[in-house]
Structure 1
Amino acid sequence: MSNLGVAYGKGMTAWVGSEDIDSKTRWMVQSLFSDLGNSIQVDLENENHIDVVTALSGSGIAYLAQVFDTMKSVGVKQGMSEMDAELTVLETVSGVLAIFDNTELSLNDIVKGVVSKGGTTEAGLKTMGVMGLETALKEGLEDTISKCKDLSDY
């Protein structure tokens, strides 16, 4: 599975190693992957987590880009230029990442911090919930993980 973020040092790599691997070897392996982004060690008994990382990171780039593109298309439909709509969406994404990187807030805390009772965000999230956005994302990721397992059986 490709992980396009590695080209910019922003990839996520999972590697398998036994629990009894010594710290020097663990450091060497992580150092090998460090220029590509972050890495996590998956223990042998949880080797299936490689499939989860593939879904969240490798395929996740496409899923998030699809969400961002959909947001952009709404801006364009409402009369914004393609460039302004794309810039607005991408700066918003950058803002979320900056909040997460520079605070102790969880992703859920960030959502709660934006939502106000009776406000615009609450209205949008309510509609998205009714339309099944969260369910669709979860099921799509589960299908991705399942396909990874199927492919790894070959």
Structure 2
Amino acid sequence: MLKIGFLGGGKMAHAMAKGFIAAGLTKGDHIRASCHPNDTASLENFRELGAEAITENPPVVRNSEIIIISVKPQIVPTALGQIKGMVDKSRLFLSIAMGITINELESLAPENARVIRVMPNTPVLVREGASVFVRGTNATDEDANITRKLLTAVGSCDEITENHMDAVTALSGSGPAYVYVLIEALADGGVKMGLPRDISYRLAAQTVIGAGLVVRETKEHPGVLKDNVTSPAGSTAAGLHYLEEKGFRSAIIGAVEKACDRCREVGDVYAGK
């Protein structure tokens, strides 16, 4: 049972904690989280897991083997500054703070800290997350293996180079929001055509789940799978034609591009550029 501490108790931290418990990697009473005193919802969410939820960072660090930095990017310097003199090399730091590079994390963290930068997404809550990580200077192969074990327990995991992190954030980090809009739109279309709303939402959600699994499991190109569903002069062909007329692909590509640009802007701010 891993002893895991969260510096910050927001939605992603709670999703990861819940996923780790569901995967059997830890238990509620092995988790500690620090939350803002006014964030009563986050404090209660962690306490409902059986975790210790408090309003100070040092006790979380003292009693944890793995420290997940899950505060907002602008709070990272303050949070790490509070623990800079109290940590030995036995602890591994995983940061999910957007835009904070490995170099910046290592400069803020305790000297010679073992740091890994991670980008998960919210489906870790149901153990279907898409996560990546980047090793810091002092991170060992064992650290990478522990990180991979944590992340694969709640979804998929890939090791990448840091220059790809902004694009990953824009695609899989922000991607669930794009998919939720798609599900909502599919369901609205079903309702427009006469389906009850509850059935429309179930059908839309399951359709997205099923299509994603087919892409993942068959490893077929999505274009080939699309062609397999599209009969000559059929309803799918008519629907796809309408999507092309409305720039559906271009809109999705543009969303990823804009999100990536924003990640870079945030990174530049914290790098002092």
TM-score interval for Structure 1 and Structure 2 normalised by the shorter chain: 0.7 to 0.9
Percent sequence identity is: 28
**Is 1:32 the equivalent of 2:150?**
yes
Higher mean displacement: 143-152 or 27-36: 27-36
Question: 1:152 & 1:15 partners in 2: Cα distance?
Answer: 17
SS at match of 2:170: helix
Q: Residue type of the partner of 1:141?
A: V
SS at match of 2:187: helix
Question: 2:163 & 2:179 partners in 1: Cα distance?
Answer: 23
Question: 2:259 & 2:213 partners in 1: Cα distance?
Answer: 28
Q: Deviations over 1:37-91 (max 9, x none)?
A: 2211112xxx231111111112100001101100100111112111111112122
TM-score, length of structure 1 as denominator length: 0.85
Q: Residue type of the partner of 2:191?
A: V
Q: Residue type of the partner of 1:57?
A: S
Corresponding residue for 1:68?
A: 183
Larger relative helix fraction: 1
Corresponding residue for 1:120?
A: 235
Matched residue count: 149
Question: 2:156 & 2:122 partners in 1: Cα distance?
Answer: 13
Q: Residue type of the partner of 1:7?
A: L
Q: CA RMSD in A?
A: 2.1
Q: Which protein shows a greater Rg? A: 2
Structure 1 ranges of 4+ moved more than 3 A: 21-26
Q: Residue type of the partner of 1:63?
A: Y
TM-score, length of structure 2 as denominator length: 0.50
**Is 1:77 the equivalent of 2:195?**
no
Residues 61 and 115 (structure 1), Cα distance of their counterparts in 2 relative to 1, 3 Å cut: same
Question: 1:91 & 1:29 partners in 2: Cα distance?
Answer: 30
Structure 1: where are the runs of 5+ without partners?
Answer: none
The alpha carbon displacement at 1:142 in A equals 0.2
Corresponding residue for 1:9?
A: 127
Q: Residue type of the partner of 1:137?
A: I
Question: 1:50 & 1:114 partners in 2: Cα distance?
Answer: 34
Structure 2: where are the runs of 5+ without partners?
Answer: 1-97, 99-119
The alpha carbon displacement at 1:104 in A equals 4.0
Higher mean displacement: 96-105 or 134-143: 96-105
SS at match of 2:220: coil
> Which structure is richer in relative contact order (CA contacts within 8 A, separation 6 or more)?
1
Larger relative strand fraction: 2
Question: 2:191 & 2:123 partners in 1: Cα distance?
Answer: 27
Corresponding residue for 1:143?
A: 258
Q: Residue type of the partner of 1:37?
A: G
